């Protein structure tokens, strides 16, 4: 079972008095908190502050998202999710033309790193759409320009100028996972209890960046195809604890994006 809400390790996952109050509103002192780090078909992984646990989901589990805070209780065959605490700053993808329902991509975010790479054609159109969705979530958007080692310094400066023209004031950070260039600029976001999400097209280097920040190969990476498009090396969303105490959610590359208007802008207590 999870650690108590006063456990410092749980607080490092983002637990605070607001979440504690939300848990208390369920009026069941036997329920204990945990944070969802991964959702698979029929199961989810939760972080309890002390360890991790795998919990079976009822139905298809579509109401549980990576980043959620949940209340864990005892069930007839083991621990169960008794409730999902009200979300803050939700990043959602709208229903599409193929009939797929609206989907919560990640919940309870503080910062969204919108990624684009310099080793191919910079996609300002996708960047603008990601930024619009990031702002709709209520989290702070930051444009993360990756693979700066792949082009000249002049090309980097030209790309940054083009991005600033469409970023509407969002901070722009240029990094290289290969050389470590620019990584110090991410320090303000890599603090204990802070949750970030990486968003962008496949092939922009999100998984490589996660592995670099985590100091271990926690996610699979793959090469970009000869046509410049990325391979979908990330096939699921996962909350990865970083050495400094922050938490990072990598997401599969998404080409079809539409904002879910009014979703998830809950005020922080």
Question: Which CATH number is 48's domain given?
Answer: 2.40.50.140
Four-residue CA torsion sign, 80, 85, 89, 92 = positive
Residue 114 lies in a domain: yes
Residue 262 lies in a domain: no
109 and 210: one domain?
A: yes
At 61 the pLDDT is: 52
70 and 157: one domain?
A: no
At 236 the pLDDT is: 66
Query: Cα–Cα distance between 1 and 72 in angstroms, integer?
Result: 8
Q: What is the mean pLDDT of residues 199-203?
A: 81
Residue 58 sits in which domain range?
Answer: 8-84
184 vs 225: which has the higher pLDDT: 184
Output the domain CATH number for residue 179.
Answer: 3.40.50.300
Chain segment 9-20, per-residue pLDDT in tens: 888 899 999 999
Residue 38 lies in a domain: yes
Helix ranges, the chain (H): 8-11, 17-24, 124-137, 153-166, 206-214
174 and 75: one domain?
A: no
103 and 231: one domain?
A: yes
At 32 the pLDDT is: 92
Residue 267 lies in a domain: no
At 260 the pLDDT is: 43
36 and 111: one domain?
A: no
Which residues are paired to 78 by β-bridges?
75
At 159 the pLDDT is: 93
Strand-strand pairing, 195-199 and 247-250: parallel
Query: Cα–Cα distance between 183 and 208 in angstroms, integer?
Result: 13
Share of the chain above pLDDT 90, in %: 46
Chain segment 59-89, per-residue pLDDT in tens: 555 589 999 999 999 887 778 899 999 999 9
Token reading at 27: 């009026």
For the chain, how many structural domains are there in total?
A: 2
At 253 the pLDDT is: 54
At 148 the pLDDT is: 92
Please tell me the least confidently modeled range out of 37-41, 111-115, 204-208. Answer: 204-208
At 252 the pLDDT is: 65
Chain segment 118-128, per-residue pLDDT in tens: 887 677 888 89
73 and 172: one domain?
A: no
Q: What is the mean pLDDT of residues 24-34?
A: 94
| Boundary residue ending a domain (84, 115, 131) | 84
148 and 68: one domain?
A: no
52 and 145: one domain?
A: no
Please tell me the least confidently modeled range out of 93-107, 200-214, 223-237. Answer: 223-237
Q: What is the mean pLDDT of residues 160-186?
A: 94
Chain segment 223-269, per-residue pLDDT in tens: 444 334 444 344 467 898 898 889 998 876 554 444 443 444 443 44
Token reading at 218: 């926690």
Residue 264 lies in a domain: no
102 and 169: one domain?
A: yes
Taking all residues of the chain, what is their mean pLDDT, rounded to a whole number? Answer: 81
Query: Cα–Cα distance between 165 and 160 in angstroms, integer?
Result: 9
| Boundary residue ending a domain (21, 51, 84) | 84
233 and 157: one domain?
A: yes
């Amino acid at each position: 079972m999870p650690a108590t809400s006063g456990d410092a390790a749980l607080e490092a996952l983002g637990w605070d008095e607001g979440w504690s109050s939300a848990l208390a509103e369920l009026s069941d002192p036997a329920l204990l908190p945990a944070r969802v780090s991964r959702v698979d078909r029929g199961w989810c992984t939760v972080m309890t502050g002390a360890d991790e646990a795998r919990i079976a989901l009822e139905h298809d589990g579509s109401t549980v998202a990576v980043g959620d805070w949940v209340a864990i209780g005892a069930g007839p065959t083991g621990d169960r999710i008794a409730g999902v605490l009200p979300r803050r700053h939700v990043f959602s993808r709208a229903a599409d033309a193929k009939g797929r329902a609206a989907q919560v991509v990640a919940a309870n975010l503080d910062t969204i790193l919108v990624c684009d790479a310099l080793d191919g054609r910079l996609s300002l159109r996708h960047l603008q759409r990601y930024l619009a969705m990031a702002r709709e979530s209520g989290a702070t958007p930051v444009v993360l320009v990756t693979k700066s080692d792949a082009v000249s310094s002049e090309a980097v400066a030209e790309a940054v100028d083009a991005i600033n023209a469409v970023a509407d004031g969002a901070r722009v950070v240029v990094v290289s996972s290969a050389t470590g260039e620019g990584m110090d600029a991410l320090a303000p976001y890599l603090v204990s209890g802070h949750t970030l999400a990486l968003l962008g097209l496949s092939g922009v280097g999100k998984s490589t960046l996660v592995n670099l920040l985590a100091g271990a190969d926690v996610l699979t990476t793959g090469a970009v195809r000869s046509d410049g498009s990325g391979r979908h090396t990330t096939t699921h969303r996962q909350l990865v604890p970083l050495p400094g105490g922050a938490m990072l959610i990598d997401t599969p590359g998404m080409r079809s994006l539409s904002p879910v208007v009014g979703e998830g802008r809950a005020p922080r207590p």
